[in-house]
Amino acid sequence: MDKRSARPAREIVVPGDILDDSGAKAGDNTYTVDGRVYAAILGVKNRNQYGVGVIPLGGRYMPKPGDMVIGMIEDIGSSNWMVDIKAPYPAPLHVSEVPWKVEFGDTSRYLNVGNVVLLKVLSVDEGKKIQVTMNDSGLRRLEGGRLVEIPYVKVSRVIGKSGSMIQMIKNLTDCRIFIGENGVIWIDGDEKNAEVAVQAIEMIGEHAHRGSLTERVKEFIEKELPDAGEVGE
Amino acid sequence: MSKKIISEIRRDHIFNLLKEGKRSDGRKLDDFREIKFETGIIESADGSAVVEMGKTKVTAGVKIIPGTPFGDTPNLGVLTTGAELIPLAHPDFESGPPSPESIELARVVDRGIRESGMVDMSKLCIKEGEEVWMCFLDLYAINYDGNLFDAFNLASVLALKTAIIPNEQYGKGEDVPLPITCLPISVTSAKLGSSLILDPNFDEENISSARLTVTTDDDGNFRAMQKGGQGSITLDELSHCLDMAVAKGEEIRKLIG
Amino acid sequence: MSGTTDMILVNKDGKRIDGRTPDEHRDIKIEAGVLANADGSAYVEIGKNKVLAAVYGPRECHPRHLQDPTKAIIQCKYNMQTYSVSDRKRPGTDRRSVEISKITAEALEKVVLTELYPRASIDVYIEILQANAGTRCAGLTAASVALADAGIPMRDIVPAIAAGKADGYVLLDLNKEEDNFGQADVPMAIVPSTNEIVLLQMDGNMTREEFDKAIEMGVRGCHDVYKLQKEALLNRYSDGGDSDE
């Protein structure tokens, strides 16, 4: 608890708030007028050696190349699939970006509407046109299990510092879990355990801005699963 | 409001649980979500209510205005019901003229109220053949997470139940409550696979094959029904829907007093 | 503005029929994040006005032909519910609501960083649950809170309020009676960090001197509204400190 009080209080800013007028570099989610840096989004003020910026508290996921995402096939073309990855734009998955050799017009034999896929963002061009790929190790169609959606800004909380939070959830529930940067999370395991993992992650999604989260999530899982941690360690 | 795509994983999860008699949010098959309501929320309306069923939220308001009766019912008041699925309530709702879905919703709610005789129309005559009270009941979806039929029905009943005839505003004496005879309650069953559930949420509604809305009166008699969806209902299932509508209808009627 | 009345709207002590002084706005309540489905939302009460706003987006723009390859477009729909006014309003769009939707979208265009989302649409829905003079200002006030709540990048938050004139007095935030029987109405909205005007309408009859006073009063009123908008957004996240990461 001492550690917590030692940390400077976080400062929430709204669009138009002045972040700096002493020449700091403008960071993410800011704009500059006459040398002053302003917040361009609702979020937490973040000052570091690179400058001053804002960490968003909400909003839509905007894909970045290299992001691992989970999406749902929402439409099928003759040479691609349209994937909903919860971004402002649809993400086409071209037949050349899947691990199968797909004949023209034969797309629905491999992936169909409603299927869920683990993908990587290949590129986002200047016009925000997105390309996704399934051609990388571990990328695949996801079957069975559970899906949870949380705001993408909470993904870092679910992962935790160097993966500590997600590792704890995996250990205590003995579930397999894939986290999409877009806030879509896939969980597979024993029914009761998977349900507890889903609830734990939803809890983080709802309360990530409150204190001592790791402890509370741990307490929650141990209460729901008294035998937790005895398996898979 | 045509069917939305639900991911295979969510759909399979819901169906797998149903096989064991469970639902994804922990409810029993015949449980409603928590119902919250408030009346008199809009002062400019003559009666109004907001109803929440889980994350589904709707409002109802009634305006009571003097007007000309229909020729064939010169001594009866008039009830007109409209429903709007405004785009504020869901990313897939679009603005524009009423959709077939919103028209069906309004008509099914209207039928339950009309056929139950909830509002005593004979007491809404001001001067036979010339002037009667016209009740305009308007319904709005505020946040859509399934089961608008029952949410709209309940909001309508609450708005009418607390409505006032605005005699003063039109120089016709003192304001009086709208004459109410009973509380028609609709209960909608949705069919998923071979399971019947009540108060379906968005995901459940979108993977259901059929639904049946049953409206009962204070005596548990049936006053209106509507089957919807492309699937079918067996006679045994129908019987089960009717039993649930009577039992749950009574429970909800007690809740709103 | 058209009606006449014997009613005294402002008495000789400068008090208005609801007890306010000429430069006082009605009670204002703002809440952010009130709807589950919307990306951002807000509920605003100004006096007896009750307004809900929801924002969806940025998302794919429909219909397609409205897409702009260089920036997102803002599509706004202002809708008055049938029982929001004393005579039942006919459902559906009318010319008044089309005009209000247009000027509201234009006011928001000024602050939203639309260039970050080419081809996309940011959809703003304003529902008037109860109307009592000043709904376009309440709607715009709610819409800008909903946009910020949706995490949409923007330069500033836009507050709006009306000034006007009744019984020869310049007044802030007209109520229903002052709006009906007064001599002028000036709804306006500004960018608080620069005081630039992004929405302005006027109808009635005012001298240059009166109009200048109305603008001055309106700008100050807007800054009051802005404080409450900001508070509403901060309140949404005020229930805890930092947590472990």
Set out the domains of chain C in order of their start, with CATH numbers: 28-232 (3.30.230.70)
- A6 with A43, same domain: the answer is yes
Query: Which stretch of DSSP H or E encloses residue C78?
Result: strand C73-80
Q: Which chains does chain A touch, 3 or more C-beta pairs < 8 A?
A: B, C
One domain for residues A131 and A159: no
Among A41, A89, A128, select the one facing C153 at the smallest CB separation.
A41
Residue A180, domain member (yes or no):
yes
Mean local confidence (pLDDT), C42-47: 98
User: In chain C, positions 67-86, which contact chain A (CB-CB < 8 Å)?
Assistant: 69
CA distance C79 to C51: 10
Contacts of B9 in chain A (CB under 8 A): 116, 142-147, 186
Residue B11 maps to a domain? no
CA-to-CA distance for B245 and A224, rounded, in angstroms? 35
If asked whether residues A136 and A162 sit together in one domain, one would say no
Q: Is residue A40 part of a domain?
A: yes
Q: Residue A30: inside a domain, yes or no? A: yes
Query: Is C50 in contact with B42 (Cβ distance < 8 A)?
Result: yes
Tell me the nearest-neighbour CA distance from A114 into chain B, angstroms: 4
Structural domain contains residue B196:
yes
Q: What is the pLDDT of residue A8?
A: 58
E strands in chain A: 12-13, 18-20, 30-33, 36-39, 43-48, 51-56, 68-76, 80-84, 91-94, 116-124, 130-133, 140-142, 146-149, 176-179, 184-188
- Name the minimum distance, in Å, from the CA of C132 to any CA of chain B: 9
Going by C-beta distance under 8 Å and a sequence separation of 6 or more, which residues neighbour residue C14?
C21, C22, C169
Total domains in the fold of chain B: 1
Say yes or no for a CB contact (<8 Å) between C130 and B84: no
- Taking only the tens of pLDDT, chain A with its 233 residues reads 344 444 557 899 999 999 999 999 999 999 999 999 999 999 999 998 889 999 999 999 999 999 999 999 999 999 999 999 999 999 999 999 999 999 888 999 999 999 999 999 999 998 899 999 999 999 999 999 999 999 999 999 999 999 999 999 999 999 999 999 999 999 999 999 999 999 999 999 887 555 678 888 998 999 999 886 654 43
**Do C120 and A9 make contact, defined as CB atoms within 8 angstroms?**
no
Residue C243 touches chain A, beta carbons under 8 Å: yes
**Contact at CB, B140 and C88, closer than 8 angstroms:** no
Closest CA to B249 of B181, B160, B183, B157: B183
Beta bridge partners of residue A125, listed in sequence order:
none
The secondary structure of residue A161, as a DSSP letter, is G
**Residue B13 falls inside a structural domain:** no
Both tokens of B256, joined, read 């709103």
Residue A211: the pLDDT is 62
End residue of a domain, out of A117, A142, A167: A142
Q: Is there a contact between B86 and C129 (Cβ–Cβ < 8 Å)?
A: no
Residue A78 lies in a domain: yes
Please give the pLDDT value at position C189: 98
Q: Does B139 reside within a domain?
A: yes
pLDDT reported for residue A206: 85
- Do A153 and A214 have their domain in common? yes
Identify the domain containing residue A203 by its residue range. Answer: 146-224
B2 assigned to some structural domain: no
- The number of domains in chain A is 3
Tell whether B136 lies on the interface with C, counting CB pairs under 8 A. Answer: yes
In a domain, A229, yes or no: no
CATH at residue B188: 3.30.230.70
Q: What is the mean pLDDT of residues B120-127?
A: 97
Mean pLDDT to the nearest integer, C105-118: 97
Q: Report the pLDDT averaged over residues B232-245.
A: 97
Please tell me the predicted confidence (pLDDT) of residue B179. Answer: 98
Q: What are the pLDDT digits (tens) for C146-158? A: 999 999 999 999 9
Q: Which of A109, A142, A175 is the last residue of a domain?
A: A142
Query: Which domain does B196 fall in, by range?
Result: 23-256
Q: What is the mean pLDDT of chain C?
A: 94
Chain B partners within 8 Å of C75 (Cβ): none
Same domain, A121 and A156: no
Task: Name the neighbours of C, counting chains with at least 3 Cβ pairs within 8 A.
Answer: A, B
Rounded to whole angstroms, how far apart are CA atoms A11 and B210? 51
- A123 in a structural domain: yes
pLDDT digits 0-9 by tens, B38-72: 999 999 999 999 999 999 999 999 999 999 999 99
Q: What ipTM is given for this predicted complex?
A: 0.90
Q: Do B9 and A74 touch (CB under 8 A)?
A: no
Q: Are B65 and B83 in contact (CB under 8 A)?
A: no
* A62, part of any domain: no
pLDDT band at C104 (very low <50, low <70, confident <90, very high): very high
Contact A173, A193 (CB under 8 A): yes
DSSP sequence for A178-232: EE-TTSEEEEES-HHHHHHHHHHHHHHHHHTTSS-HHHHHHHHHHHH-TTTTSS-
Q: Which pLDDT score is estimated for A210?
A: 57
CA distances to A127, C17, C100, C141, C203 from C106, rounded to whole Å, are 23, 34, 10, 14, 20
Asked if the C-beta of B164 comes within 8 angstroms of chain C's C-beta atoms, the answer is: no
| Residues of chain A that touch chain B, judged by Cβ-Cβ distance less than 8 Å | 72, 74, 113-116, 142-147, 186
Dihedral sign for Cα atoms in the order B59, B60, B65, B67: positive
Cβ atoms of residues A153 and A29 within 8 Å: no
Which H helix or E strand runs over C108?
A: helix C95-109
pLDDT computed for residue C3 by the predictor: 65
Q: pLDDT digits over C173-211, tens only?
A: 999 999 999 999 999 999 999 999 999 999 999 999 999
d(CA B81, CA B62) in angstroms, rounded, equals 9
CA distances for A14 relative to A41, A211, C196, C242, angstroms: 6, 22, 18, 17
From the list B188, B185, B201, the residue with the least C-alpha distance to B227 is B188
- State the pLDDT at residue A91: 96
- Check CB contact under 8 Å for B7 and A116: yes
- Please report the pLDDT score of residue C239 as a whole number: 62
How far, rounded to the nearest angstrom, does the alpha carbon of residue B146 sit from its chain's CA centroid?
A: 12
Cross-chain residue pair A161–C157, CB shorter than 8 Å: no
Nearest to B11 among A114, A142, A186 (CB): A114
| Residues C133-145 pLDDT 10s | 999 999 999 999 9
Chain A residues touching residue B6 (CB < 8 angstroms): 114
C54–B88: do the CB atoms touch at under 8 Å? yes
Q: Is residue A233 part of a domain?
A: no
Whether B3 and chain A come into contact, CB under 8 Å, resolves to no
The vertex-C138 CA angle with C52 and B99, nearest 5°, equals 40
Q: Which of A110, A140, A147, A177 to mutate to test the interface with B (most CBs of B within 10 A)?
A: A147
Average pLDDT (C106-121) is: 97
